[in-house]
A = this chain, B = another copy of it.
Amino acid sequence: MEQKNSPFDLHLLTDLAVESRNLTMQRTGQELEGVRLDEEEVEHAKITRIRVMNDRAAQAIGKKPGDYITIETRELQQGERQLHEYLSGVMAKEINTLVNYPGLTKSLEQEPTILVIGLGNWNATPDALGPRVIHHLLVTRHLYDAAPADARQGMRPVCALAPGVLGLTGIETAEILKGVIDKVHPDLVIAIDALAARETHHLASTIQISNTGIYPGSGVGNQRIGITQEDMGVPVIAVGVPTVVNSVTIVNDTIDKLMQDQNIAGTKMQNRLQQINDKQKQQIIQQVLQPYLGDLIMAPRGIDKLIRDVGRVIAGGLNIALHPDINQENVSLYLQ
């Protein structure tokens, strides 16, 4: 979530595949070819699994081919610990479906080495989710290496890094990671990042898990290297939660709502309103948001606490997914 491209390309203002898909469908008005959708309601949460099946579909919705799972739940925002433990369990189950994806050469039973990356800036609250997860995560690789083979039962070698952001280190995050991966040789990388959403109801209430990697600082981005299987040489699972909505989105949505408003529907006014072209829209957005424009973010008032809570839920989910002896009942006992 480091920095964003043009504030006016709304497609780039969301990191959620589920929003990209809905946005595209609204525009085209029809089902997307090459995008498979599967929705499941579980207790306290709705799970949506999107598979982008080919490059044409990827182009259409602006997300790379692969799997995108979103867990939407109101409960993440509530302070209730017991529900948080439950959500960690739900998340662990979905992680495990991706971990067993063909890309991974070792199954979890073969005790692969897993490197968890906490992306983002620990000095910027809405961007601190990744480092926060690392803070709570159970790290075991150094103990695993020291333990005799039969004592390793039920232990997986997990290591972790919060590399910081370009502004703090002067080094591209992907460069740091590539260097560390070349030394540590993990079998799988799991990268955690705070995301941007377009819809406010997704804030701190949606977990997205994907196997397509991540480009720190952009949606599809133009950086030289990404945290992807191609660039890193190992499978990458990305886990993210939206913590901000770009303010440009809100202004844009307000104009759109006016255009579609029932109370003035079909009137000449709405017809004309719909003729406001993109350039006029941008002028209005600029007038409302200057001098900040793309750098003004919207977040829930209690964002500091939400980041802490969500960080714990995700660290718990990873602990359950990665260590056979940890489950929903005892997950709180292992949070660092």
Contacts and interface: CB of A to CB of B under 8 A. Distances in A.
Interface residues of A, number: 81
Contact of A296 (B200, B271, B272, B295): B200
Interface stretch (A8-16, A25-33, A163-171, A228-236): A163-171
Question: What DSSP secondary structure best describes chain A's contact surface?
Answer: helix
Nearest to A261: B284
A302 interface: yes
B164 A171 contact: no
19 contacts: A81-B332, A81-B335, A143-B170, A159-B171, A160-B170, A161-B164, A162-B164, A171-B183, A179-B181, A200-B247, A200-B290, A200-B291, A255-B258, A268-B268, A269-B269, A269-B271, A269-B272, A295-B300, A296-B299
Given A160-B170, A268-B272, 14 more contacts: A124-B303, A125-B303, A141-B171, A159-B169, A160-B169, A162-B164, A171-B184, A200-B247, A255-B258, A257-B284, A258-B276, A263-B276, A263-B280, A296-B299
Interface string A236-277: 000000000001001101110110010110011101110010
A214 interface: no
A280 B261 CA distance: 9
A64 B30 CA distance: 57
Nearest to A181: B179
Give this chain's copy count.
4
A168 to B, nearest CB: 7
Given A142-B167, A166-B142, A288 B250 contact: yes
A110 interface: no
